[in-house]
Amino acid sequence: MSLPDIQLFLRPGIIEFGWGNPDADLLPAADLARAAEIALQRRGRQALSYGAEQGPGRLIEALQGWLFREEGVSPPAQQLFVTGGVSQALDLICTLFTRSGDVVLVESPVYHLALRIFRDHGLELAPVAADEDGLRVDLLAEALESLRRRGRHPRFLYTVPTFNNPTGMTMTVERRRALAALAQSAGLLVLEDDVCHTLWFDAPPPSSLWGLAPTMDRGLAAEADRRPAPAGPIVRLGSFSKILAPGLRLGWLSAPPEFVQRCMRSGMLDSGGGVSHLAAHVVAEFMELGLLDVHVEHLRAAYRRRRDGLLEAMTRFLPPGCSWRAPGGGFFVWLRLPEGCDSGRFLSQAEAAGVSYVPGNRFCAGEGGERYMRLAFSLLSLRDLEEGIRRLAGLLESNEFG
Ligand SMILES: Cc1ncc(COP(=O)(O)O)c(C=O)c1O
């Protein structure tokens, strides 16, 4: 048997709602090949050397321009740092800023594989519940107070406020402001995982937490036509995985300059240079050619069709007692099952019936989530989205989940 080249494996006969991966047909292989060829021809010496610890200057400049076009504000160069994607950034942050046994606050439900990274570092996870308006900032204040009484200070809060994985929900502007203010007053570092911010379908989401954080003009703010960038205790994590290709292993973070400096001084970067350096050159070329803006537009339309197809099938086929909310972007719908259903207990029956998903409890650091499942629509064709929902509906109607 040959060894696999990729992480994704699809099981014949099963419609997989479980994988939150981009559809391979939407990966821009030809345009990336063109960008790679130009990058190697024109900048081969730089692209194939050990990279600058912060990431290549040309990618940082391209990112500044792109973020400004997308959001109307962009970090000064000293507040940007090129990462190997959100997962690598989280791992690096845990390495540099935590010790085993430290406590960290995590939104609940939240991206389950980030929880795995935190557990790899021996961190204690303290969940803070979210509702359809995002993380409950009142409960965060209570959690901080309860930790304080026990003499503990969390190293950070991890949250996915925009098109949350798994719920698809987006935090309101009021809550964002309240969270940014609380973080500032409590001295709480917030890791804002913003992997899907630009993948909106109906209207652009509210400004990131980073964009709403109290502004501190440290004399680093960019050109006159750009708003001064915030430098509060928010670290915003971005990625090219969903908007370009996950195999690039490339992302970025925006953070206060001293945070960026600490990342740059890590032993790993000192030894190996900037991460994913060749990929960073290729993507910088891709952006300089103006291809990213066009590609993201194309993705929005393609994933919007899938979201709509999934929601339509859910409305048509799912029995009473099921409920969900339409996500305004991202890859996921969070399905609430009728009373008494446990999505974890019945995964094997569902797979035997040809449909799979991720059970809701995997996204909760504490209790909860049993009555939910995460359905990813990014990978499946319209026909499979419909057929998968028919299969789920059949199971629910025959009480197999009960
Ligand atoms: C919320 C969230 N964060 C991070 C990741 C992984 O990001 P990356 O590929 O940049 O490591 C994902 C991938 O599904 C995700 O949904």
Tens of pLDDT, residue by residue, the chain (402 residues) = 799 999 999 999 999 999 999 999 999 999 999 999 999 999 999 999 999 999 999 999 999 999 999 998 899 999 999 999 999 999 999 999 999 999 999 999 999 999 999 999 999 999 999 999 999 999 999 999 999 999 999 999 999 999 999 999 999 999 999 999 999 999 999 999 999 999 999 999 999 999 988 665 433 444 444 455 555 699 999 999 999 999 999 999 999 999 999 999 999 999 999 999 999 999 999 999 999 999 999 999 999 999 999 999 999 999 999 999 999 999 999 999 999 999 999 999 999 999 999 999 999 998 899 999 999 999 999 999 999 999 999 999 987 666
pLDDT of residue 219: 39
CA of 84 to the centre of ligand 1 (A): 11
Does the C-beta of 20 come closer than 6 Å to ligand 1? yes
Does the C-beta of 239 come closer than 6 Å to ligand 1? yes
**Sheet bearing 157-159, strands edge to edge:** 80-83, 251-254, 234-239, 190-193, 157-159, 103-108, 124-131, 134-135
Does the C-beta of 250 come closer than 6 Å to ligand 1? no
- Overall pTM > 0.75: yes
Ligand 1 closest atom vs CA 240 = 10
Residue located via tokens 């009480």: 399
CA 315 to chain centre: 27
Pair 369, 362: CB distance under 8 Å? yes
pLDDT of residue 221: 41
Give CA–CA dist 10/329, Å, rounded: 24
Does the C-beta of 246 come closer than 6 Å to ligand 1? yes
Does the C-beta of 378 come closer than 6 Å to ligand 1? no
pLDDT of residue 212: 85
Residue type, 263: C
Please tell me the residue having the least CA distance from ligand 1 atom 13.
Answer: 20
Give CA–CA dist 87/171, Å, rounded: 22
Does the C-beta of 86 come closer than 6 Å to ligand 1? yes
Give Cβ neighbours of residue 130 (< 8 Å, ≥ 6 apart): 107, 108, 109, 110, 136, 164, 167, 169
Pair 361, 370: CB distance under 8 Å? yes
- Nearest-5° Cα angle at 252, 93 to 292: 160
Q: Hey, which of 195, 248, 362 would you mutate to test ligand 1's pocket, going by the most ligand atoms within 8 Å of its Cβ? A: 195
